[in-house]
Structure 1
């Protein structure tokens, strides 16, 4: 049995660097990342060299370090991507909240511009948050009939909005921005 003090990192690296790099290249596509990970493995193995007791296990020990380094690399990348996506989502959410805040003052006047039955329905369901089933029961109408009326009323409201504004939606149909149509008289609604 040979102890790690009898082996230098230079000797280990001369013998295993090429096979470690090949292993990394097989598992990581970017050559710059491979070089960075190879350096990281060198540092980790140097710092832990005193822990190896049996040089017969040296190769498996090095490849275990390499494998853990690759796993850590992909975990870190996934966290960074998740963080970037969260930042993009937060920015988009802030933007949409700003748009909705801007449009909040417009909603009530536009709803009030609808026929009274539609205005009452949308005020209850959309502004006051009354569940559609509960509203149907209050009005003594079938739930399926109410759902149809809500859809029709929403379309009427959209038509009123559309007379005064152009809406810009993202790929998922979410409101991204809007612009007021120039020269349109919206009756002071917005």
Structure 2
């Protein structure tokens, strides 16, 4: 049996079934499209032509269950709160300030932080590239971050969230000319 024949014979029944389970007409249309796609994709798995109706309604029933599961997952996700700032905006605002602070560090420390934190290079790979022990590099990165943090703290007040992401900053005084 061809898909067009099946769809013309059962579309109205499927639509009525969907309307009995889903109140929004737009959602019903979307679900009908999903059922049509699933029917098309699985038509070769239909073994008896006499069982087309029950097979279609099984697809419809599973599609409805998936629809409500997806809706429940979306409902459980917290909406963006109006008072939450986009951390990318803060990072973009501070980006011009990073280079002067890095320039104040020794060259090897600055290049280490540029490679690891700004370029996102792997510490293991970078250690191999430099020909030093991985744990030694990790220690150097931590020390360099502490030094850089000290420079920032001398110039700016900033707040971090519980994961250590920057959420707010304010320049301490106009006398700090690094930014």
Scaled by the length of structure 2, the TM-score of the pair is 0.55
Q: Once the 2 structures are TM-superposed, how far is the Cα of residue 81 of structure 1 from its aligned partner?
A: 3.9
In structure 2, what is the equivalent of residue 88 of structure 1?
80
The 3-state SS of whatever aligns with 1:166 is strand
Confirm whether residue 162 of structure 1 aligns to residue 153 of structure 2.
yes
In structure 1, stretches of 5+ residues that fail to align are 1-43, 45-71
Q: Distance in 1 between matches of 2:74 and 2:121?
A: 40
In structure 1, what is the equivalent of residue 131 of structure 2?
140
The 3-state SS of whatever aligns with 1:129 is coil
Q: Distance in 1 between matches of 2:151 and 2:102?
A: 9
Q: Once the 2 structures are TM-superposed, how far is the Cα of residue 166 of structure 1 from its aligned partner?
A: 0.6
Cα distance change, pair 91–131 in 1 and its aligned pair in 2 (3 A): farther
Q: Once the 2 structures are TM-superposed, how far is the Cα of residue 95 of structure 1 from its aligned partner?
A: 1.9
2:99 to 108, 111, 124: 108
Which aligned pairs between 1:1-190 and structure 2 lie closer than 5 A? 79-82=74-77, 85=78, 87-88=79-80, 92=84, 95-183=86-174, 185-186=175-176, 188-190=177-179
Cα distance change, pair 140–164 in 1 and its aligned pair in 2 (3 A): same
Q: Distance in 1 between matches of 2:100 and 2:83?
A: 29
Cα distance change, pair 170–126 in 1 and its aligned pair in 2 (3 A): closer
Q: Once the 2 structures are TM-superposed, how far is the Cα of residue 129 of structure 1 from its aligned partner?
A: 2.3
Q: Distance in 2 between matches of 1:77 and 1:129?
A: 36
In structure 2, stretches of 5+ residues that fail to align are 1-19, 21-67
Q: Distance in 1 between matches of 2:81 and 2:137?
A: 34
Cα distance change, pair 128–171 in 1 and its aligned pair in 2 (3 A): closer
Count of paired positions:
117
Q: Once the 2 structures are TM-superposed, how far is the Cα of residue 136 of structure 1 from its aligned partner?
A: 0.9
Cα distance change, pair 125–77 in 1 and its aligned pair in 2 (3 A): closer
In structure 2, what is the equivalent of residue 54 of structure 1?
none
Greater fraction of residues in helix: 1
The 3-state SS of whatever aligns with 1:137 is helix
Q: Once the 2 structures are TM-superposed, how far is the Cα of residue 130 of structure 1 from its aligned partner?
A: 2.2
Cα distance change, pair 90–144 in 1 and its aligned pair in 2 (3 A): farther
The 3-state SS of whatever aligns with 2:96 is helix
Q: Distance in 2 between matches of 1:131 and 1:171?
A: 24
Q: What is the Cα-based RMSD across aligned positions, in Å?
A: 3.1
The 3-state SS of whatever aligns with 1:88 is coil
